[in-house]
Copies of this chain bind each other. A is one copy, B any other.
Amino acid sequence: MISVIILGAGNVATHLFKAFNSANQVTVKQWYNRSIDTLNPYKNEVEIIDDLAQLKEADLYILAVSDDAIKTLSSQLPFENRLVVHTSGAAGIYDIDKKHKRGVFYPLQTFSKTAAIDFANVPICIEAVETPEYYFLKDLAKSIGSPTKKVNTDQRKVLHLAAVFVNNFTNQLYRVAHEITESEGAEFDLLKPLILETAKKVQNLSPFIAQTGPAKRNDTKTLKRHLKLLQDPHHKDIYNLITSSIQHTHGRKKL
């Protein structure tokens, strides 16, 4: 049985708590947060605390807190030489105070407050200073059904950056599509199957192979017509930039 203690109460902390709490080989010994009120709904499932001095001994302490809080919180932990990990895609492993055994347990997924998460769809990127800790973290991820990948700091940071492109930036393109359709009283809902299919397509094909459309074909007539249709100059900027990015990728044009 692996014992873990979670620190923090955001989306990642909450989803990890739920996953660990229902895993057979894991017990969540305590859940810490600066403000205990946030944890109150879980007080019958786990010991909740707001005082670091009350922290018990455990196999692992998970700092699921904001990047800025990792350094201070890890130095305030009233023990040493135990395994402490953070869950950030961007923070360094050495942001964790050097009195601890250090690691990173970065779940590469978007977490929302409400939606349930199946950890089978959450790859865990693992970083550890020492090999035994790496295998320990790998086993832990396996216990909640997650695939894992050993990464170094640079790889984790580019994955975090690439995640911004495929998640936040993609979502903003959906938003622009929403604005464009609404402006003509057309229904954004009609685009939802296409949105899903586009994401499904690259599960098996590379994005390079999956590309289609007027930019790739260099269909200048359609490109011009589209630019004329776009009212908002910001939408036009996005159209122009990503069109030329596609043409750059597919050798239509030098940028």
Shortest Cβ distance from residue A244 to the other chain B in the assembled complex, whole angstroms = 8
Using known A-B contacts A164-B226, A181-B158, A195-B166, determine if residue A172 contacts B109 with beta carbons closer than 8 Å.
no
A171 and B238: CB pair below 8 A? no
A125 and B157: CB pair below 8 A? no
Would you call A190 an interface residue if the criterion is a C-beta within 8 Å of the partner chain's C-beta atoms? yes
Q: Which residues of B contact A90 (CB under 8 A)?
A: 222, 225
Q: Which residues of B contact A157 (CB under 8 A)?
A: 225, 229
A190 and B123: CB pair below 8 A? yes
Chain A interface bracket (under 10, 10 to 19, 20 to 34, 35 or more): 35 or more
With beta carbons under 8 angstroms apart, the residue of B190, B237, B242 that contacts A108 is: B190
Instruction: Give the interface SS of chain A, mostly helix, strand, loop or mixed.
Output: helix
Using known A-B contacts A181-B158, A197-B110, A199-B196, determine if residue A175 contacts B238 with beta carbons closer than 8 Å.
no
Cα distance A177–B159 in the bound complex, in angstroms: 8
Q: Which 4 A-B pairs have the closest CB atoms?
A: A199-B199, A168-B213, A162-B177, A175-B207
Q: Which residues of B contact A123 (CB under 8 A)?
A: 190, 193
B194 and A109: CB pair below 8 A? yes
Shortest Cβ distance from residue A153 to the other chain B in the assembled complex, whole angstroms = 10
Q: What sequence of 0s and 1s flags, for each residue 139-158 of chain A, a beta carbon within 8 Å of any chain B beta carbon?
A: 00000000001010011111
By a beta-carbon cutoff of 8 Å, the part of chain A in contact with chain B is: 67-68, 90, 108-110, 112, 115, 121-123, 125, 149, 151, 154-159, 161-178, 180-181, 183-188, 190-203, 206-208, 210-216, 221-222, 225-226, 229-230, 234, 237-239, 241-242, 245-246, 248-249, 255
B198 and A198: CB pair below 8 A? no
Shortest Cβ distance from residue A106 to the other chain B in the assembled complex, whole angstroms = 10
Shortest Cβ distance from residue A246 to the other chain B in the assembled complex, whole angstroms = 5
Q: Which residues of B contact A239 (CB under 8 A)?
A: 164-165, 169
